[in-house]
Structure 1
Amino acid sequence: MRRSLALLPLLFAAAASAHITLETPQADAGSTYKGVLRVGHGCDGSPTTELRLIVPAGVEKLKPMPKAGWQLTVKKHKLAQPYDYYGEQVTEDVSEVSWSGGNLPEDFYDEFVFRARLPKTPGETLYFKVEQRCAKGETRWVDIPAAGQDAHDLPTPAAALKLTAPGEGHRH
Protein backbone atom coordinates (compact mmCIF):
# COMPACT_ATOMS: atom_id res chain seq x y z
CA MET A 1 0.00 0.00 0.00
CA ARG A 2 2.79 2.44 0.89
CA ARG A 3 4.48 1.72 -2.41
CA SER A 4 1.25 2.49 -4.30
CA LEU A 5 0.83 5.77 -2.45
CA ALA A 6 4.44 6.70 -3.15
CA LEU A 7 3.82 6.30 -6.90
CA LEU A 8 0.65 8.41 -6.85
CA PRO A 9 2.43 11.76 -7.45
CA LEU A 10 4.19 10.27 -10.48
CA LEU A 11 0.85 9.27 -11.99
CA PHE A 12 -0.51 12.79 -11.58
CA ALA A 13 2.67 14.27 -13.09
CA ALA A 14 2.34 11.98 -16.10
CA ALA A 15 -1.31 12.96 -16.57
CA ALA A 16 -0.46 16.65 -16.29
CA SER A 17 2.20 16.41 -19.00
CA ALA A 18 -0.01 14.36 -21.32
CA HIS A 19 -1.68 17.34 -23.00
CA ILE A 20 -0.79 18.70 -26.42
CA THR A 21 1.12 21.88 -25.66
CA LEU A 22 3.12 24.60 -27.37
CA GLU A 23 6.87 24.40 -26.84
CA THR A 24 7.03 28.18 -26.34
CA PRO A 25 3.93 29.23 -24.34
CA GLN A 26 4.46 33.01 -24.62
CA ALA A 27 5.49 35.40 -27.38
CA ASP A 28 5.59 39.10 -28.22
CA ALA A 29 2.27 40.47 -29.47
CA GLY A 30 2.52 41.37 -33.16
CA SER A 31 5.56 39.16 -33.72
CA THR A 32 6.13 36.28 -36.11
CA TYR A 33 5.89 33.12 -34.03
CA LYS A 34 7.21 29.61 -34.60
CA GLY A 35 4.67 27.31 -32.99
CA VAL A 36 5.71 23.79 -32.09
CA LEU A 37 2.83 21.51 -31.05
CA ARG A 38 4.20 18.74 -28.83
CA VAL A 39 2.41 15.38 -29.01
CA GLY A 40 3.49 13.00 -26.27
CA HIS A 41 0.99 10.17 -26.59
CA GLY A 42 -1.80 8.64 -28.64
CA CYS A 43 -5.40 7.91 -27.59
CA ASP A 44 -5.50 5.32 -24.79
CA GLY A 45 -2.66 3.31 -26.33
CA SER A 46 -3.74 3.77 -29.95
CA PRO A 47 -1.32 5.51 -32.38
CA THR A 48 -1.98 9.06 -33.59
CA THR A 49 -2.92 9.17 -37.29
CA GLU A 50 -4.08 12.79 -37.68
CA LEU A 51 -3.65 16.14 -35.98
CA ARG A 52 -6.06 18.97 -36.84
CA LEU A 53 -5.24 22.51 -35.70
CA ILE A 54 -7.97 25.17 -35.43
CA VAL A 55 -6.36 28.60 -35.92
CA PRO A 56 -7.50 31.26 -33.40
CA ALA A 57 -9.02 34.51 -34.66
CA GLY A 58 -6.44 37.25 -35.21
CA VAL A 59 -3.59 34.89 -36.12
CA GLU A 60 -2.38 35.85 -39.60
CA LYS A 61 -0.51 34.17 -42.47
CA LEU A 62 -0.14 30.82 -40.71
CA LYS A 63 2.16 28.47 -42.64
CA PRO A 64 2.44 24.85 -41.51
CA MET A 65 5.67 22.89 -41.90
CA PRO A 66 5.32 19.75 -44.04
CA LYS A 67 6.11 16.54 -42.19
CA ALA A 68 7.61 13.49 -43.89
CA GLY A 69 5.10 10.63 -44.03
CA TRP A 70 2.12 12.90 -43.33
CA GLN A 71 -0.27 14.60 -45.79
CA LEU A 72 -0.74 18.31 -45.17
CA THR A 73 -4.12 19.99 -45.78
CA VAL A 74 -4.86 23.69 -45.29
CA LYS A 75 -8.36 25.23 -45.17
CA LYS A 76 -8.88 28.96 -45.67
CA HIS A 77 -11.77 31.31 -44.95
CA LYS A 78 -12.74 34.73 -46.31
CA LEU A 79 -11.95 37.57 -43.93
CA ALA A 80 -14.62 40.07 -42.88
CA GLN A 81 -11.83 42.63 -42.52
CA PRO A 82 -8.87 42.29 -44.94
CA TYR A 83 -5.40 43.24 -43.69
CA ASP A 84 -2.10 44.38 -45.17
CA TYR A 85 0.84 41.98 -45.18
CA TYR A 86 4.01 43.62 -46.53
CA GLY A 87 2.04 45.57 -49.14
CA GLU A 88 -0.24 42.66 -50.05
CA GLN A 89 -3.97 42.97 -49.29
CA VAL A 90 -4.98 39.67 -47.64
CA THR A 91 -8.67 38.78 -48.09
CA GLU A 92 -8.60 35.14 -46.96
CA ASP A 93 -6.50 33.33 -44.40
CA VAL A 94 -5.84 29.89 -42.92
CA SER A 95 -8.50 28.64 -40.50
CA GLU A 96 -7.46 24.98 -40.15
CA VAL A 97 -4.42 22.80 -40.73
CA SER A 98 -4.44 19.02 -40.80
CA TRP A 99 -1.51 16.61 -40.78
CA SER A 100 -2.94 13.17 -41.66
CA GLY A 101 -2.03 9.72 -42.90
CA GLY A 102 0.91 9.31 -40.56
CA ASN A 103 1.44 6.88 -37.72
CA LEU A 104 2.79 8.09 -34.38
CA PRO A 105 2.86 5.09 -32.00
CA GLU A 106 1.92 5.56 -28.35
CA ASP A 107 5.53 4.95 -27.25
CA PHE A 108 6.93 7.87 -29.26
CA TYR A 109 6.88 11.67 -29.12
CA ASP A 110 6.72 14.07 -32.06
CA GLU A 111 6.26 17.73 -32.95
CA PHE A 112 4.11 19.51 -35.52
CA VAL A 113 5.34 22.96 -36.53
CA PHE A 114 3.81 26.14 -37.95
CA ARG A 115 4.73 29.80 -38.32
CA ALA A 116 2.35 32.77 -38.05
CA ARG A 117 2.01 36.46 -37.27
CA LEU A 118 0.38 37.09 -33.91
CA PRO A 119 -2.22 39.74 -33.00
CA LYS A 120 -0.95 43.02 -31.53
CA THR A 121 -2.82 42.54 -28.24
CA PRO A 122 -0.44 42.14 -25.27
CA GLY A 123 -2.00 40.44 -22.28
CA GLU A 124 -4.30 38.27 -24.40
CA THR A 125 -4.07 34.48 -24.35
CA LEU A 126 -4.68 32.66 -27.63
CA TYR A 127 -6.01 29.11 -27.55
CA PHE A 128 -5.01 26.73 -30.34
CA LYS A 129 -7.59 23.94 -30.39
CA VAL A 130 -6.27 20.59 -31.59
CA GLU A 131 -8.15 17.44 -32.57
CA GLN A 132 -6.01 14.33 -32.22
CA ARG A 133 -7.33 11.37 -34.21
CA CYS A 134 -5.97 7.90 -33.59
CA ALA A 135 -6.34 4.44 -35.11
CA LYS A 136 -8.93 3.83 -32.36
CA GLY A 137 -10.61 6.91 -30.99
CA GLU A 138 -9.82 10.60 -30.77
CA THR A 139 -9.13 13.31 -28.22
CA ARG A 140 -10.30 16.88 -28.73
CA TRP A 141 -7.91 19.29 -26.97
CA VAL A 142 -10.39 22.17 -27.07
CA ASP A 143 -11.23 23.19 -23.50
CA ILE A 144 -10.67 26.87 -22.69
CA PRO A 145 -10.54 27.96 -19.05
CA ALA A 146 -13.13 30.37 -17.69
CA ALA A 147 -11.88 33.61 -16.13
CA GLY A 148 -9.89 32.72 -13.01
CA GLN A 149 -9.82 29.00 -13.81
CA ASP A 150 -6.52 27.12 -14.16
CA ALA A 151 -6.17 25.30 -17.50
CA HIS A 152 -4.50 22.41 -15.65
CA ASP A 153 -7.89 21.69 -14.06
CA LEU A 154 -9.44 20.98 -17.46
CA PRO A 155 -9.52 17.40 -18.81
CA THR A 156 -8.59 18.33 -22.40
CA PRO A 157 -7.20 21.89 -22.50
CA ALA A 158 -6.43 23.70 -25.75
CA ALA A 159 -2.78 24.72 -26.23
CA ALA A 160 -2.34 28.22 -24.78
CA LEU A 161 -0.13 31.07 -25.99
CA LYS A 162 0.22 34.19 -23.80
CA LEU A 163 0.88 37.40 -25.77
CA THR A 164 3.32 39.73 -24.02
CA ALA A 165 4.33 43.33 -24.63
CA PRO A 166 7.19 43.51 -27.16
CA GLY A 167 10.46 42.74 -25.42
CA GLU A 168 8.87 40.69 -22.60
CA GLY A 169 8.30 37.47 -24.58
CA HIS A 170 10.74 34.78 -25.63
CA ARG A 171 12.54 35.60 -28.90
CA HIS A 172 13.97 33.25 -31.54
Structure 2
Amino acid sequence: MKTSFILAAGLLAALNAQAHIVLEQRTAEAGSYYKATFMLTHGCDGSPTREVKVTLPEGFQRARPQPKPGWTLETQSEKLAKPYETHGKTITEDVRVVTWRGGPLLDAHYDELIIMGRLPATPGKIYFKVEQVCEKGRHDWVAIPEPGKTIRDYKEPAAELTLTPRAEPAAAPATVHKHE
Protein backbone atom coordinates (compact mmCIF):
# COMPACT_ATOMS: atom_id res chain seq x y z
CA MET A 1 0.00 0.00 0.00
CA LYS A 2 2.75 2.47 1.00
CA THR A 3 4.77 1.54 -2.11
CA SER A 4 1.73 2.13 -4.35
CA PHE A 5 1.22 5.57 -2.82
CA ILE A 6 4.88 6.49 -3.34
CA LEU A 7 4.77 5.29 -6.97
CA ALA A 8 1.54 7.21 -7.61
CA ALA A 9 2.99 10.38 -6.04
CA GLY A 10 6.13 10.02 -8.18
CA LEU A 11 4.06 9.56 -11.34
CA LEU A 12 1.97 12.65 -10.52
CA ALA A 13 5.13 14.70 -9.92
CA ALA A 14 6.58 13.53 -13.26
CA LEU A 15 3.36 14.39 -15.11
CA ASN A 16 3.22 17.79 -13.39
CA ALA A 17 6.82 18.51 -14.40
CA GLN A 18 5.95 17.67 -18.01
CA ALA A 19 2.89 19.95 -17.96
CA HIS A 20 5.19 22.98 -18.25
CA ILE A 21 7.40 24.22 -21.06
CA VAL A 22 10.74 22.77 -20.02
CA LEU A 23 14.21 22.34 -21.47
CA GLU A 24 15.12 18.95 -22.90
CA GLN A 25 18.62 19.13 -21.32
CA ARG A 26 18.32 20.67 -17.86
CA THR A 27 22.03 20.84 -17.01
CA ALA A 28 24.95 22.25 -18.99
CA GLU A 29 28.51 23.37 -18.43
CA ALA A 30 28.86 27.06 -17.53
CA GLY A 31 30.44 29.10 -20.33
CA SER A 32 29.74 26.47 -22.99
CA TYR A 33 27.65 26.71 -26.13
CA TYR A 34 24.23 25.22 -25.53
CA LYS A 35 21.29 24.11 -27.65
CA ALA A 36 18.24 25.18 -25.63
CA THR A 37 15.44 22.86 -26.79
CA PHE A 38 12.09 23.96 -25.36
CA MET A 39 9.53 21.13 -25.26
CA LEU A 40 5.91 22.20 -25.88
CA THR A 41 3.69 19.45 -24.56
CA HIS A 42 0.25 21.09 -24.59
CA GLY A 43 -1.81 24.16 -25.47
CA CYS A 44 -4.10 26.16 -23.17
CA ASP A 45 -6.93 24.01 -21.79
CA GLY A 46 -7.45 22.36 -25.18
CA SER A 47 -6.77 25.48 -27.27
CA PRO A 48 -3.94 25.38 -29.90
CA THR A 49 -0.70 27.35 -29.39
CA ARG A 50 -0.22 30.29 -31.79
CA GLU A 51 2.82 32.06 -30.28
CA VAL A 52 5.79 31.28 -28.04
CA LYS A 53 8.01 34.09 -26.73
CA VAL A 54 11.26 33.29 -24.90
CA THR A 55 13.06 35.92 -22.82
CA LEU A 56 16.71 34.93 -22.49
CA PRO A 57 18.45 35.02 -19.12
CA GLU A 58 21.12 37.61 -18.34
CA GLY A 59 24.49 36.48 -19.71
CA PHE A 60 23.08 34.23 -22.48
CA GLN A 61 25.11 35.34 -25.52
CA ARG A 62 24.97 35.08 -29.32
CA ALA A 63 21.46 33.60 -29.45
CA ARG A 64 20.67 31.89 -32.75
CA PRO A 65 17.06 30.62 -32.94
CA GLN A 66 16.11 27.80 -35.30
CA PRO A 67 13.39 28.72 -37.84
CA LYS A 68 10.35 26.44 -37.85
CA PRO A 69 8.25 25.77 -40.97
CA GLY A 70 4.78 27.31 -40.63
CA TRP A 71 5.97 29.82 -38.03
CA THR A 72 7.44 33.32 -38.37
CA LEU A 73 10.51 34.07 -36.29
CA GLU A 74 11.31 37.40 -34.68
CA THR A 75 14.24 38.43 -32.51
CA GLN A 76 14.49 41.49 -30.31
CA SER A 77 17.92 42.86 -29.44
CA GLU A 78 18.82 45.18 -26.57
CA LYS A 79 21.84 47.20 -25.55
CA LEU A 80 23.88 45.23 -23.02
CA ALA A 81 24.70 46.60 -19.57
CA LYS A 82 28.03 44.78 -19.83
CA PRO A 83 29.49 44.36 -23.36
CA TYR A 84 31.53 41.24 -24.13
CA GLU A 85 34.30 40.25 -26.55
CA THR A 86 33.99 37.50 -29.13
CA HIS A 87 36.16 36.75 -32.17
CA GLY A 88 38.00 40.06 -31.73
CA LYS A 89 34.81 42.14 -31.67
CA THR A 90 33.14 43.99 -28.81
CA ILE A 91 29.44 43.12 -28.65
CA THR A 92 27.34 45.93 -27.17
CA GLU A 93 23.89 44.69 -28.27
CA ASP A 94 22.54 41.14 -28.31
CA VAL A 95 19.33 39.14 -28.80
CA ARG A 96 17.26 39.15 -25.58
CA VAL A 97 13.86 37.91 -26.82
CA VAL A 98 12.92 35.29 -29.44
CA THR A 99 9.31 34.90 -30.66
CA TRP A 100 7.76 32.24 -32.91
CA ARG A 101 4.26 32.98 -34.30
CA GLY A 102 2.12 30.74 -36.47
CA GLY A 103 1.25 27.14 -36.26
CA PRO A 104 -1.15 26.42 -34.85
CA LEU A 105 0.21 23.65 -32.65
CA LEU A 106 -2.80 21.62 -31.55
CA ASP A 107 -3.19 20.87 -27.85
CA ALA A 108 -2.92 17.13 -28.57
CA HIS A 109 0.43 17.55 -30.38
CA TYR A 110 4.03 17.99 -29.24
CA ASP A 111 6.80 20.15 -30.68
CA GLU A 112 10.18 21.69 -29.89
CA LEU A 113 11.62 25.16 -30.36
CA ILE A 114 15.39 25.64 -30.36
CA ILE A 115 17.80 28.47 -29.56
CA MET A 116 21.59 28.02 -29.73
CA GLY A 117 23.81 30.31 -27.69
CA ARG A 118 26.62 30.67 -25.19
CA LEU A 119 25.85 30.26 -21.48
CA PRO A 120 27.03 32.51 -18.65
CA ALA A 121 30.42 31.49 -17.20
CA THR A 122 29.24 31.33 -13.57
CA PRO A 123 27.77 28.02 -12.28
CA GLY A 124 24.28 28.11 -10.76
CA LYS A 125 20.70 28.20 -11.99
CA ILE A 126 19.39 30.40 -14.80
CA TYR A 127 15.82 30.77 -16.03
CA PHE A 128 14.26 31.25 -19.45
CA LYS A 129 10.88 33.03 -19.21
CA VAL A 130 8.42 31.62 -21.76
CA GLU A 131 5.07 33.11 -22.76
CA GLN A 132 2.71 30.71 -24.55
CA VAL A 133 -0.23 32.36 -26.35
CA CYS A 134 -3.06 30.15 -27.59
CA GLU A 135 -6.14 30.78 -29.72
CA LYS A 136 -8.02 30.99 -26.42
CA GLY A 137 -5.98 31.73 -23.33
CA ARG A 138 -2.30 31.79 -22.45
CA HIS A 139 0.32 30.48 -20.05
CA ASP A 140 3.08 32.71 -18.70
CA TRP A 141 5.86 30.32 -17.66
CA VAL A 142 7.79 33.11 -15.92
CA ALA A 143 7.90 32.34 -12.17
CA ILE A 144 11.46 32.25 -10.82
CA PRO A 145 11.81 30.52 -7.44
CA GLU A 146 12.44 32.62 -4.37
CA PRO A 147 15.18 31.44 -1.98
CA GLY A 148 14.18 28.16 -0.33
CA LYS A 149 11.68 27.23 -3.07
CA THR A 150 11.93 25.22 -6.29
CA ILE A 151 10.15 25.39 -9.63
CA ARG A 152 7.76 22.70 -8.33
CA ASP A 153 6.36 25.29 -5.91
CA TYR A 154 4.91 27.35 -8.79
CA LYS A 155 1.98 26.82 -11.13
CA GLU A 156 3.74 28.38 -14.15
CA PRO A 157 7.51 28.21 -13.53
CA ALA A 158 10.15 29.53 -15.92
CA ALA A 159 12.28 26.90 -17.73
CA GLU A 160 15.20 26.14 -15.40
CA LEU A 161 18.77 25.31 -16.44
CA THR A 162 21.49 24.31 -13.96
CA LEU A 163 24.97 25.45 -14.97
CA THR A 164 27.72 23.16 -13.71
CA PRO A 165 31.38 24.19 -13.22
CA ARG A 166 33.57 23.93 -16.31
CA ALA A 167 35.56 20.74 -16.48
CA GLU A 168 39.27 21.30 -16.18
CA PRO A 169 41.18 20.11 -19.25
CA ALA A 170 43.18 16.99 -18.62
CA ALA A 171 46.84 17.71 -17.93
CA ALA A 172 49.22 16.60 -20.63
CA PRO A 173 51.33 13.63 -19.58
CA ALA A 174 54.78 14.53 -18.38
CA THR A 175 57.50 13.94 -20.95
CA VAL A 176 60.62 12.23 -19.72
CA HIS A 177 63.85 13.20 -21.46
CA LYS A 178 66.94 11.08 -21.14
CA HIS A 179 70.32 12.69 -21.47
CA GLU A 180 73.21 10.49 -22.29
Q: Normalized against structure 2, the TM-score is what?
A: 0.85
SS at match of 2:25: coil
The runs of 4+ residues in structure 1 deviating greater than 4 Å are 8-13
The CA deviation string for residues 105-131 of structure 1, in whole angstroms up to 9 with x for no partner, is 011000000101011101x21100000
Q: 1:84-99 maps to which residues of 2 (within 5 A)?
A: 84-99=85-100
Alpha-carbon distance in structure 2 between the residues aligned to 1:77 and 1:12: 37
Identity percentage of aligned residues? 48
Residue 19 of structure 1: SS of its match in structure 2?
coil
Cα deviations by residue, 1:16-65 (Å, 9 ceiling, x for unpaired):
32010000001111000011000000000000010000011111111100
Amino acid at match of 2:26: P
> Which protein shows a greater Rg?
2
Q: Aligned equivalents of 2:44 and 2:12: distance in 1?
A: 17
Secondary structure, counterpart of 1:42 in structure 2? coil
- Unpaired runs of 5+ residues, structure 2, are 169-180
- Which residue does the alignment assign to 2:153? 153
Task: Indicate the SS of the match to 1:149.
Answer: coil
**What's the CA shift for 1:86?**
1.3
Alignment RMSD (CA, Å): 1.7
Flag the 1:60–1:41 CA change in 2: closer, same or farther, 3 A: same
Residue in 2 aligned with 1:104?
105
Residue identity in the other structure for 1:29: A
- Counterpart for residue 18 of structure 2: 17
| Count of matched residue positions in the alignment of Structure 1 and Structure 2 | 161
**What TM-score does the superposition give when structure 1 sets the normalisation length?**
0.88
Describe how 1:1-172 pairs up with structure 2 within 5 A: 13-122=14-123, 124-167=124-167
* Deviation of the 1:12 alpha carbon: 5.6
Structure 2 counterpart SS, 1:146: coil
